[in-house]
Amino acid sequence: MQTKSHLSVLVHDQAKKYGDREVLVYKDFGGKTWKSYTWNEFSYKVKVVSNALLNFGVKPQENIGIFSQNSVQYIFCDFGAWGVRAVTIPFYATSSEQQIQFMINDAQVRFLFVGEQEQYDKAHRVFSHCPTMERIVIFDNNVKIDPNDSNAVYFDDFLKLGENLPRQTEVEKLYKEASPDDLANILYTSGTTGDSKGVMLSHLQYSAAIEANDRAVKVTENDRVLNFLPYAHIFEKGWTILCISEGATLIVNTDPHEVQKSMKETHPTSMCAVPRFWEKVYTGVKEKIDSANPIQRKLFKHALAVGRKHNIEYLSRGKRPPLALHMEYEMYNKTLFSLVRHELGLEHTNIFPTAGATVSSHVEEFVHSIGLTMVVGYGLTESLATVTCDRVGEKPYTIGSVGRPIHNIKIKISDEGEVCLKGPTITKGYYNRPDITAQSFDDEGYFKTGDSGYMKDGELFLKDRIKDLFKTSNGKYIAPQMIEAKLLVDKFIDQIVIIADQRKFVSALIIPEYGALEKYAQANGISFTSREDLCSNGKIHQMITERIETLQQQLAHYEQIKRFTLLPKPFTMESGELTNTLKMRRKVINEHYKNEIEKMYAE
């Protein structure tokens, strides 16, 4: 049963309900062993942070920055700040100095909480360029503070200011004064165009969002939920708060490189993920199938066909599978599929919300077929995450859709095909940017998402970002993200950018999965001394060509890739080619690889 409380007191209300039950499972920064906090301990830590913030001089609705990887300290700070009516501003742990300097100055941040050495070093270097900054508080005790830095303090020392709750009476008064209209977060979105704008999210939006998601997403107090997407991402932040409101146990993954290890060690029942995570699972399993002996390969392909028929052709359509099919599926579910899930650390599973980009139909079908319940959805920072999602087990869902609208969300498709939204979870606008705010809503008060799509039988289907739709010189419209999603399931492709706008045909810049490509070269007697050698090798190019032709058979002729270039180095955030949420900045990539692109169109 969900607890519906203002975020300032949600953890404390849950502690009264669950007491000494485990709630947070975590590792220290750089630690090897899993530790845990109970609900009572969680509640106390949050109160300590609230008291310490008052002793720091934090005022109601003041903006506080958090620049860190996921950690329990991060969660304590969020809820501790909300307890004194402060606003938290999450910065991605990978943000550049230029980005954090802009956000600190735009939001007039006085106090910045940082995670590890990298975040501290960046914060320390921009400190003198941020007039409002007063203190840096460091989560990781292993961070080396600059000898000349008198403004930094470790989190453990910060907590001493709130030990024994010296100002709890004032904190309790602030609980009572907390308003649904208070700002809870400002989330800065860098966007694929590079424009940085702070999305304002209120407590009222959070209340509406967790209530609406409670109706649509069946997570419970019995779930063990792995948090591995950044808390700076609204998908993970909204999901985490929903899980806390339901009484679930959170497994906090601090190191993003250890996600699969964490899964095997902690056995989560649920987690939210972006499609790229499942694409890598798909390619990993597919590679094992392809390398198996012919009998095993045939058996697994048949099992997948049975899983697809049972879970997609019948269950997803709300139909009961025939008894013979159900029995055959159960046999495979308890043997082959169980082994796959065990290998992932997902033995006892509930649901896996997935959003943030286009989900390949191949991947979605595969995940459902092996008995994992993927809940595909769609949302934005401006909508406080979920707009639509699948209703698995309740209503029919269609592979390729992004589900049905959640409670109280109205969707309108404009004359141009743009998805427009209205409802209590939609932002009031952008911090300090009345100009952009005014441009973002239509005359009826609907928020303009920038995504094109259509409704069919109550489900939303997305096409692409309106600004990303390409028009070839032949007048045909191309949806690049759809094509990219189809290609990313290949084990030899790590990143891909489609080129087509105002061009005669579709081409692509491809970042290979270098490890897989090197193994292929070695197994096939292809000599190389560098990635440049690999990417320019004719035999490699031919192999990739054949794989692309297989994957794009279902595309219209004008959508198919005619030429491509393999690149020896990946697209990165540091180069400005990716946003913090790993979306492609097409304009930057087009500029950086202008010569390579022109060569593909040379006669």
Q: What tokens appear for 136 in the block?
A: 């840096």
CA distance 285 to 364: 14
Mean pLDDT of the chain: 94
Cα–Cα nearest to 114, from 143, 80, 83, 86: 143
- Cα–chain center distance at 475: 34
Burial class (CB in 10 A: 0-12, 13-18, 19+), 563: middle
| pLDDT tens by residue, 312-322 | 999 999 999 99
| pLDDT tens by residue, 119-150 | 999 999 999 999 999 999 999 999 999 999 99
For the chain, domains (ranges, CATH) are: 10-178+217-266 (3.40.50.12780), 275-441+452-466 (2.30.38.10), 470-600 (3.30.300.30)
Rg (CA), the chain: 25
The 3-state DSSP class for residue 518 equals: helix
The 3-state DSSP class for residue 376 equals: strand
| pLDDT tens by residue, 32-41 | 999 999 999 9
Cα–Cα nearest to 599, from 559, 552, 575, 565: 565
Structure confidence at residue 191 (pLDDT):
59
Read off the pLDDT of each residue in 493-497 and give the average, rounded to a whole number.
Answer: 94
Q: What tokens appear for 266 in the block?
A: 């902690």
Q: What tokens appear for 78 in the block?
A: 């969020």
Structure confidence at residue 105 (pLDDT):
96
| pLDDT tens by residue, 207-232 | 999 999 999 999 999 999 999 999 99
pLDDT above 70 coverage of the chain, percent: 99
Instruction: Check whether 190 has a pLDDT greater than 80.
Output: no
| pLDDT tens by residue, 138-188 | 999 999 999 999 999 999 999 999 999 999 999 999 999 999 999 999 999
Cβ neighbours, 10 Å, residue 323:
8
The 3-state DSSP class for residue 18 equals: helix
The dihedrals phi and psi of 29, each to the nearest 5 degrees, come to -55, 120
For residues 543-553, one letter each, b for 16 or more C-beta atoms within 10 angstroms of the residue's C-beta and e for the rest, the string is bbeeebeebbe
Q: What tokens appear for 25 in the block?
A: 């499972």
Pairing state of beta strands 404-405 and 447-456? unpaired
pTM value is 0.86
DSSP code for 151? S
Burial class (CB in 10 A: 0-12, 13-18, 19+), 361: middle
Structure confidence at residue 94 (pLDDT):
87
Read off the pLDDT of each residue in 110-117 and give the average, rounded to a whole number.
Answer: 98
Where is 204: in which H helix or E strand? helix 203-216
Cβ neighbours, 10 Å, residue 321:
17
The C-alpha torsion from 61 through 67 and 71 to 75, rounded to 10°, is: 10
Alpha helix segments (H runs only) across 217-257: 234-246
| Residue bearing the bigger pLDDT, 293 or 603 | 293
Q: Provide DSSP, 153-168.
A: EEHHHHHHTTTT-TTH
> Could you identify the residue written with the tokens 């087990």?
393
Q: What tokens appear for 568 in the block?
A: 């020896």
Residues 2 and 246: beta-carbon distance below 8 Å: yes
Inter-axis angle of helices 39-56 and 10-18, nearest 10: 150
